[in-house]
Amino acid sequence: MNKTLKTAFVSTIPVMTGYLVLGFGFGIVMNSSGFDWWAALAMSLFIYAGSMQYVAIGLMTGGASLITVALTTLMVNARHLFYGISMLDRYKNTGKNKPYLIFALTDETYSLVCTDNPTIAPEQRNNYYFLVSILDQLYWVGGTLLGVAVGSLINFNSEGIDFALTALFVTVFVDQWLSSKKHGPALIGLGVSVLCLVIFGSDSFLIPTMLGIAVLLCIMKEGDGND
Amino acid sequence: MTDTYILLVIAVSALVTAAIRFLPFLIFNGSRSTPPIIDKLGKTLPYAIMAMLVVYCLKGVSFASLSSFVPSLLACAIVVLLHVWKRNTLVSIVSGTVCYMLLVQLVF
């Protein structure tokens, strides 16, 4: 268990960096938008979806209706459907941890659990998934509280800090690219996303992109896959 | 903005997010075996989705002016080069983010 905790901690260090920074940024923005600390804490505990929490600040200050909140959440977070689909098998026998594992399946946690960690023994995998998930949320909540606290004390120019997220995904993409021989799925993802972004614009390209990726991956021949 | 409104927004957003995350597990649950097509999707999606997330993060990039694409694309290039060279995720992320922050705050 200790060895698993150590491995889990080491593999979450990149997410820790990203989450402390982004959670910190979220706390700062919540504070400067006039929200109490408990609202920031509740969002990081119960919504626990980075980009949606940033979007929600704008919705609340604009006084959006609850229907708008529901639809916007659906649009912004629809990509999480795919994480579930690709974790069905890995999370199959996770027992009592399963509800939390599913609840905590953020972009970043997914990027850590979606490919096998070779240093983890098969019988330790469930523990590893759980530790990675809970550590990630601790970083996120910790960063949020730190941001709220610091934001109420000093004026900090955090412009551009959200790039940490982009950088994290770029590194995972590069890792996946270098560790697999066939690049079909990665290229499909890249091509469809860019094409849909150009056609549909930045506000509404995610849904058509997901449909396009799903269709192309389904009709792709087995030999073009990654295994 | 009342506290009740804030709590309701948080509750709605949390419920919808959780519903999205739980849906695949509720549909393809337990005893029934997962259809082969979903199995195949599950194996290939991680690669495609990571590309989509990168594009999603860069969706604000436009070529209308230098300031709307140089900082993010330059910082991304730095992350890719550093990462291919060192394979150290922490170094790549921190360097890229610091470069980006300096670029948007001081240069552009």
Minimal Cβ distance to A174: which of B5, B12, B83: B83
What band does B50 get if pLDDT is binned at 50, 70 and 90? confident
The pLDDT value given to residue A222: 62
Closest approach of chain B CAs to the CA of A1, in angstroms? 25
Residue A160 to residue B14, Cβ atoms within 8 A: no
- Residue A192's contacts (CB-CB under 8 Å, 6 or more residues apart) are A209, A212, A213, A216, B48, B52
Does residue B82 form part of some domain? yes
Residue B47 to residue A91, Cβ atoms within 8 A: no
Residue A167 to residue B92, Cβ atoms within 8 A: yes
Does residue B102 form part of some domain? yes
| 3-state SS string for chain A | CHHHHHHHHHHHHHHHHHHHHHHHHHHHHHHHCCCCHHHHHHHHHHHCCHHHHHHHHHHHHCCCCHHHHHHHHHHHHCCHHHHHHHHCCCCCCCHHHHHHHHHCCCHHHHHHHCCCCCCCCHHHHHHHHHHHHHHHHHHHHHHHHHHHHHHCCCCCCCCCCCHHHHHHHHHHHHHHHHHCCCCHHHHHHHHHHHHHHHHHCCCCCHHHHHHHHHHHHHHCCHHHCCC
> Can you tell me the distance from the alpha carbon of A128 to that of A125, in angstroms, rounded to the nearest whole number?
5
Mean pLDDT across chain B, nearest whole number?
A: 89
**pLDDT, tens digit (0-9, with 9 covering 90-100), for A157-181:** 777 877 877 888 898 899 889 988 8
The pLDDT value given to residue B21: 96
User: Does the structure's ipTM exceed the value 0.95?
Assistant: no
Choosing among B13, B61, B67, B103, which should be mutated to test the A contact, i.e. which has the most A CBs within 10 A? B13
**pLDDT, tens digit (0-9, with 9 covering 90-100), for A168-224:** 889 889 988 998 888 999 999 999 999 999 999 987 788 888 889 989 999 987 655
Residues of chain A with pLDDT under 70: 1, 156, 222-227
- Chain A residues touching B39 at Cβ < 8 A: 89
Does residue B103 form part of some domain? yes
Residue B83 to residue A81, Cβ atoms within 8 A: no
Does residue B2 form part of some domain? no
Q: Are A147 and A25 in contact (CB under 8 A)?
A: yes
Does residue B63 form part of some domain? yes
The pLDDT value given to residue B60: 84
> Can you tell me the distance from the alpha carbon of A130 to that of A85, in angstroms, rounded to the nearest whole number?
18
Domain count, chain B: 1
The pLDDT value given to residue A227: 47
Give the domain extent around B97: 33-107
Does residue B20 form part of some domain? no
Does residue B49 form part of some domain? yes
Residue B17 to residue A52, Cβ atoms within 8 A: yes
Q: Are A60 and B5 in contact (CB under 8 A)?
A: yes
Does residue B1 form part of some domain? no
Q: Percentage of chain B surpassing pLDDT 90?
A: 53
Closest approach of chain B CAs to the CA of A61, in angstroms? 8
Tokens of A220: 């792709």
Q: Are A93 and A122 in contact (CB under 8 A)?
A: no
